[in-house]
Amino acid sequence: QVQLVESGGDLVQPGGSLRLSCAASGIIFSQYDMGWYRQNPGKQRELVALVTISTTTIYSNSVTGRFTISRDNAKNTIYLQMNSLKPEDTAVYYCLARRGQDYWGQGTQVTVSS
């Protein structure tokens, strides 16, 4: 079965950094576009960043220049390096694997607060 397991979420102060990880199993990882979405209560899940099978990346305007998505096919893992964190970045962050069909992780909480 497909499993996507996120980790790395934490409470950090504004301006701080975190690195999220998503370890995938049950898929041929290199054949999937991978991404990070985030969601707060009462809001739709929104794209944060995507990295394709060819390592093309795309970012939401709100995180461009601060966040970096990467993938390590040897480890079946994607990462989201988050720098200069803002309170507005507070959300549950979800890992996505996409190849026509979508698979989602359970999410990891990121809270940015002083």
pLDDT digits (tens, 9 = 90+) for 31-63: 999 999 999 988 999 999 999 999 999 999 999
Q: So what's the pLDDT on residue 105?
A: 98
The mean pLDDT of the chain is: 97
The alpha-carbon radius of gyration of the chain (Å, integer) is: 13
Going 10 to 59 to 25 to 83, the CA torsion angle's sign is negative
Tokens coding 45: 């899940």
Residue 25 has pLDDT above 90, yes or no: yes
- Arithmetic mean of pLDDT, 81-104: 97
CA distance 60 to 40: 16
Q: So what's the pLDDT on residue 97?
A: 98
Q: So what's the pLDDT on residue 41?
A: 87
Residues forming a β-bridge with 106: none
CA distance 84 to 64: 11
